[in-house]
Structure 1
Amino acid sequence: MARTIQSLERAAAVLRLLAGGERRLGLSDISSAIGLAKGTTHGILRTLQQEGFVEQEPASGRYQLGAELLRLGNSYLDVHELRARALVWTDDLARSSGESVYLGVLHQQGVLIVHHVFRPDDSRQVLEVGAMHPLYSTALGKVLCAYDPVAHSEVAEVVREPLTPHTVTGADAFEAALELTRARGWAADVEETWEGVASVAAPVHDRRRMPVGAVGITGAVERVCQEGVVRPEIVAAVRDCVRAVSRDLGAGRF
């Protein structure tokens, strides 16, 4: 087995730490969190700062992620075929539905959001590109688990903590939800992840008819659902969107 490079592992640990929790951290906080001496930690931070991956606030001396990471992240997203093919269709879906639209893929036992279209109104919203959503409670995650064997095996290792009173945590109930998803071609999350929020998602397939991601709509329960049931026009809009994206990826008609 190839040996890992310790300095790179440590640098990665620093970047992950700065990416989560508080936006800015001091040297002592970082060295304590990753279990390294201050001198060693300072050397790592200085190198990352020289490369543009970390920035230091002059007034407080605290560190935060640098702009170079954003450039690299955007470069990855720009060449990501799934995202490129989905841009127009997800924009149209957000416009027609009046809700936020997400494009997600499987990543490290979760759903990585690779594209996010804001709800087309004047409300304050936060861009969630790069965010990780739960695999077991979200509509996006349930779609991936239902259609992708890798996602299904990954979710089996996840501790399904109840995020709301509606979260499905039991193994049998979860498998039944996946079976229903496969039968109807879409999944729903009605207050299973966030109270007051509902979502609907369907899978995107590539030219080999393999699931490569999922597109979903998310919004307030009272807009997405009617009398506790997802509005059929929203389901139809999501399914039309994923069919279009899949066709652009070469999946053909289905």
Structure 2
Amino acid sequence: MPGPIQSLERAAAILRLLAGGERRLGLSEVSASLGLAKGTAHGILRTLQQEGFVEQDPESGKYQLGAELLRLGQSYLDVHELRARALVWADDLARASGETVYLGVLHQHGVLIVHHVFRPDDSRQVLEVGSMQPLHSTALGKVLLAHDPVARGELDDYPPESFTSRTLVDLAAIDEECALTRERGWSAAVEETWAGVASIGALIQDRRRNPVGAVCISGAVERVCEAGVVRPELVVAVREAARAISRDLGAARF
């Protein structure tokens, strides 16, 4: 059985050291505290800094924990609480709409599906928990793009991919869609990722009104849409589910 990887052990030790203090630490302090050569400590710190796990003060040159660690920790807590709070409401939404329900959170440069309720019929379906969906061409992704600056920043680093003739790839057009989503309180994606599939999504917030995820229904265009427009009763159902989950997470009524 392979043993532990020394470089990862040292990186973890540095993170624990920075987490245990009340002040920033310089390279010499990190090196001396952990018994590492300065060159080794510097190389690990630079790598952690590049990944956002460590930040360096530009004036003193000292190091402290980075924001990426906070985001990952908050994401872990939010995802587990989010799933627990959403179970009943997602089931109710699937029954009321007759369609598939997804719960998604921002993960790297896409949307991670953390809960999936099958369409309530006898059709053959595949569980998609753990799969990824695009940010720019799905209802879940559009909601997160509209409300989470971190999500929007991902598009600058990873240019949008075209999946169908309806996919928006121009950033200005995507920003217009985001503004519309914020204004009306819901998103829609009609055949933008998969031909014949339409989805409607709404934002989930926590007690601090932070965007922690999104919920959507997804199904065949002919069921989700009418005369080329998403059915208003389905929009209402999705928004009510998102509000209910948000309230269970402590958000004020909205």
Spell out the pairing of 1:90-169 with structure 2 (5 A cutoff).
Answer: 90-169=90-169
Aligned to 1:41: none
Secondary structure of 1:156's partner?
helix
Q: Encode CA deviations 1:129-163: one digit per residue, 9 max, x unaligned.
A: 00011111111001001001111111222221110
The count of residues paired between Structure 1 and Structure 2 equals 184
Cα pair 1:77 1:83 within 8 Å, conserved: no
Q: Encode CA deviations 1:33-62: one digit per residue, 9 max, x unaligned.
A: xxxxxxxxxxxxxxxxxxxxxxxxxxxxxx
What is the TM-score with the length of structure 1 in the denominator? Answer: 0.70
Return 5+ residue gaps in structure 2 as ranges: 9-75
1:77 is displaced (CA, Å) by 9.7
Return 5+ residue gaps in structure 1 as ranges: 9-75
Aligned counterparts of 1:102 and 1:155: Cα–Cα separation in 2? 22
What is the identity, as a one-letter code, of the residue corresponding to 1:152?
R
Q: Encode CA deviations 1:48-95: one digit per residue, 9 max, x unaligned.
A: xxxxxxxxxxxxxxxxxxxxxxxxxxxx89970001000000000000
Q: Encode CA deviations 1:85-131: one digit per residue, 9 max, x unaligned.
A: 00000000000100000000000100000000000000000000000
Aligned counterparts of 1:196 and 1:233: Cα–Cα separation in 2? 20
Aligned to 1:88: 88
Distance 1:78 1:177, change over 3 A: closer
What is the TM-score with the length of structure 2 in the denominator? Answer: 0.70
Aligned counterparts of 2:116 and 2:245: Cα–Cα separation in 1? 15
Tell whether 2:177 aligns with 1:177.
yes
Aligned counterparts of 1:223 and 1:6: Cα–Cα separation in 2? 55
Aligned counterparts of 1:170 and 1:228: Cα–Cα separation in 2? 23
Q: CA RMSD in A?
A: 1.9
What is the identity, as a one-letter code, of the residue corresponding to 1:198?
A
